[in-house]
Chain A
Amino acid sequence: MKRRTLLAASAAALALATGGAFADGHAKTKVGFIYVGSIGDGGWNYEHNEARKKVQEHFGDKVETFFQERVPEGADAERAITQMALQGADLIFTTSFGYMDPTNAVAAKFPDVKFEHATGYKREHPNVSTYSARFYEGRAVIGHIAGKMTKTNKIGYIASFPIPEVIRGINSAYLHAKKVNPDVEFNIVWVFTWEDAAKEADAAKALIDQGVDVLMQHTDTTAPMLKAEEAGIMAFGQASDMISAGPTAQLTSIIDDWAPYYIARTQAVIDGTWESKDTWDGIEPGMVAFADMSDRIPEDVRAEATQMIEDIKTGAYKPFTGPINKQDGSVWLKEGETAADFGDDGLAGMSFYVEGLTAEIPN
């Protein structure tokens, strides 16, 4: 507790020394971003940084953005976030799950700074918000397309770590592929990394060698897409448009578009209307977007996919709608029931496969 007051006092002293914090009317709003990897990864961190650039573009001179890349989770993250707060940031986006506890710890020391943590669930202080995207909505759409497009009925899935986010994606894609193609089979390879081009490429190669003709990935580099292009099969991109890696292979890509959210939250800080809240947005507000659909997708499939996107947007369709059983055959969702976000068996903490998937979730 002593440290807390010490730092708060120092921050207050600093605010006085530098002519007042934002609340007291300094000219520019400072917005900081913390990235876990390199902004050149072409995936997760790249998209967050693209959104930062759009914030800068949108507000022009009124806002100053700054960032720090390759910040390891844990003690280093806490220092990096504190550093930004000390440097006078008014709003800080921490864009990796592992920043959850450090973000809340720093937020306690800087009550006047607003914090936004991506993909977490802890909001221990009134100046912390959390936000995430319903990527599984996008995976439902690509699952549908994959089920229709596969000839071998084997779909390859390169997965990073067995966390709820990834498991949710596998379930969503599988359910929708199975719905349109009962013979479909998912071959899942866990690579235990978010970003290791060589390993992802080897995993893609292994899947392709075993007769997979549609490839999905939940890792960050374009290596699987490149391998799909080489082998002449189809694939879906992840996080960004990967069309340059797979001009013919890419059917479409799920794109993380954080810009609308970042702009809205920055605006809220400028207006003084910012409040702590949890945001879990999907296709509707544009947090989950799609790359242009390939011409290889037949007209009717494209129409179905577009319809599904529309229905998810309007809320007419929820990707996890019963009847759905768990892998062990027990009932998860009854006929017509939709999955809750939180609680036992909620989407947020999903840690089981749905019925039909044959592999086991590692831990």
Chain B
Amino acid sequence: MDLSAISPTLLLASLMVAATPIILAATGELIVEKSGVLNLGVEGMMIVGAICGFAIAVESGSPTLGFIAAATGGALLSLIFGFLTQVLLSNQVATGLALTLFGLGLSSMLGQSYVGIRPPATEKLDIPFLSDIPFIGPILFNQDIIVYVTLALVIGTWAVLKFTRAGLILRAVGENHDAAHALGYKVVRVRLMAIAFGGACAGLGGAYLSLVRVPQWTEGMTAGAGWIALAIVVFGAWRPFRVLLGAYLFGGVTVLQLNLQAAGVAIPVEYLSMSPYLITIAVLVIMSSGKAKAALSAPGCLGRIFHASS
């Protein structure tokens, strides 16, 4: 066993990379759920984003175009969900699961000719001077640009929800769609926009996997990341910074357990492998048993079907 081999700096830097796809997808889903819609198709949108981003980045040679394509792909796919649930008023849970099934199949079909290819590298943003600061330099100032975009997205989401009229309308629609409708807000339109935003974020998260974190395309490569993102939204009690915290916790334990294994720590591997899930549950239990009751902060109309004339 050699614990000194684990460098906290590198550990934290990899933690941010490991958590980024989950943060992206979870932030998108947070907005969707704040608008009162439960989209369980995150996994499907992520994987479609992963292949769209990968294919376009390879074809164009530009990772930036790849990420744009990923967001577009994810958003388009999410609009199938949007059309079914908002216009045809289908059940959200079932439609979301169907979206995951469809997305997994579609992505494999699209990706058949992209197996075994290396994508163009996404640039690292090596900020001069700042990245040379000991300890926090490599963690905070030597990451790829998407990590910063993701952090900005979380802050932006928080600010929009808290301070803007758009955020207020979104929350109103999610809390009580009948009241929001009576006040003259376009419930369906707001929700469709939220769904598309969620799809775009999930798509970005998927592309981060296929273009940066791995980087390559393999079928089914999201491997449950979408489900974890859904869990993290609940964990974060629908608040952006708690979502960020949850994703860092989960990503952190995941990276840490691999590092502990690599260092040969004498904890049985099977317990280490389960630890990210168990620790996430344990932390949630501790947080929700306190005076702030997590379940109460779920948007009031989450998952309920809205029909204007009812």
**A–B touching in complex (CB under 8 Å):** yes
Interface size class of A (residues with CB under 8 A): 35 or more
Partner-binding segment picked from A109-117, A119-127, A221-229, A303-311: A221-229
Q: Nearest Cβ distance between residue A271 and chain B, in whole angstroms?
A: 36
Contact yes or no, B218 A42, CB < 8 A: yes
Contact yes or no, A198 B266, CB < 8 A: no
Q: A40-B219, A363-B270 are in contact. Are A202 and B255 (CB under 8 A)?
A: yes
Q: Nearest Cβ distance between residue B145 and chain A, in whole angstroms?
A: 16
Contact yes or no, A358 B108, CB < 8 A: no
Partner-binding segment picked from B112-120, B196-204, B300-308: B112-120
Bound CA span A210–B4, Å: 9
Q: Which residue of B lies closest to A201 (CB)?
A: B214
Is B89 on the interface with A (CB-CB < 8 A)?
no
Contact yes or no, A38 B219, CB < 8 A: yes
Contact yes or no, B259 A206, CB < 8 A: yes
Interface string of B42-73 (1 = CB under 8 A from A): 00000000000000000000000000000000
Contact yes or no, B268 A360, CB < 8 A: yes
- Within 8 Å by CB of A209, from B14, B117, B261, lies B14
Partner-binding segment picked from A73-81, A189-197, A256-264, A322-330: A189-197
Interface string of B214-230 (1 = CB under 8 A from A): 11101111110100000
Q: Point out the residues of chain A lying under 8 angstroms from B255, CB to CB.
A: 202, 205-206
Interface string of A332-360 (1 = CB under 8 A from B): 00000000000000000000000000111
Bound CA span A156–B209, Å: 22
Is B285 on the interface with A (CB-CB < 8 A)?
no
Q: Point out the residues of chain B lying under 8 angstroms from A187, CB to CB.
A: 262-264
Contact yes or no, A197 B221, CB < 8 A: yes
Q: Point out the residues of chain B lying under 8 angstroms from A212, CB to CB.
A: 262
Q: Which residue of A lies closest to B21 (CB)?
A: A198
Bound CA span A156–B258, Å: 12
Is B24 on the interface with A (CB-CB < 8 A)?
no
Bound CA span A46–B115, Å: 10
Is B164 on the interface with A (CB-CB < 8 A)?
no
Is A106 on the interface with B (CB-CB < 8 A)?
no
Q: A42-B115, A188-B261, A198-B213 are in contact. Are A210 and B6 (CB under 8 A)?
A: yes
Q: Which residue of B lies closest to A154 (CB)?
A: B5
Contact yes or no, B117 A244, CB < 8 A: yes
Is A203 on the interface with B (CB-CB < 8 A)?
yes
Contact yes or no, A244 B116, CB < 8 A: yes
Is A207 on the interface with B (CB-CB < 8 A)?
yes
Q: Point out the residues of chain A lying under 8 angstroms from B167, CB to CB.
A: none
Contact yes or no, B216 A197, CB < 8 A: yes
Is B160 on the interface with A (CB-CB < 8 A)?
no
Contact yes or no, A41 B219, CB < 8 A: yes
Interface size class of B (residues with CB under 8 A): 35 or more
Bound CA span A307–B76, Å: 57
- Within 8 Å by CB of A222, from B112, B216, B262, lies B216
Interface residues of A in 133-162 (CB under 8 A from B): 156
- Within 8 Å by CB of A360, from B11, B14, B21, B266, lies B266
Q: Nearest Cβ distance between residue B147 and chain A, in whole angstroms?
A: 14
Contact yes or no, A206 B214, CB < 8 A: no
Is A108 on the interface with B (CB-CB < 8 A)?
no
Contact yes or no, B11 A190, CB < 8 A: no
Contact yes or no, A223 B273, CB < 8 A: no
Bound CA span A205–B6, Å: 12
Contact yes or no, A196 B223, CB < 8 A: yes
Q: Point out the residues of chain A lying under 8 angstroms from B263, CB to CB.
A: 187, 210
Is B254 on the interface with A (CB-CB < 8 A)?
yes
Q: A198-B213, A206-B14 are in contact. Are A190 and B261 (CB under 8 A)?
A: yes
Interface residues of A in 158-209 (CB under 8 A from B): 187-193, 195-199, 201-203, 205-207, 209
Q: Point out the residues of chain B lying under 8 angstroms from A206, CB to CB.
A: 14, 255, 258-259, 261-262
9 A-B residue pairs with CB within 8 Å: A40-B219, A156-B262, A197-B214, A206-B258, A209-B259, A210-B259, A245-B116, A245-B118, A358-B264
Interface residues of A (CB under 8 A from B): 38, 40-42, 46, 156, 187-193, 195-199, 201-203, 205-207, 209-212, 221-223, 226, 244-245, 358-360, 362-363
Interface residues of B (CB under 8 A from A): 1, 5-7, 10-11, 14, 17-18, 21, 108, 111-112, 115-118, 209, 213-216, 218-223, 225, 254-255, 258-259, 261-264, 266, 268-270, 273
Closest A-B pairs by Cβ, 6 of them: A362-B269, A206-B258, A209-B10, A40-B115, A210-B5, A206-B259
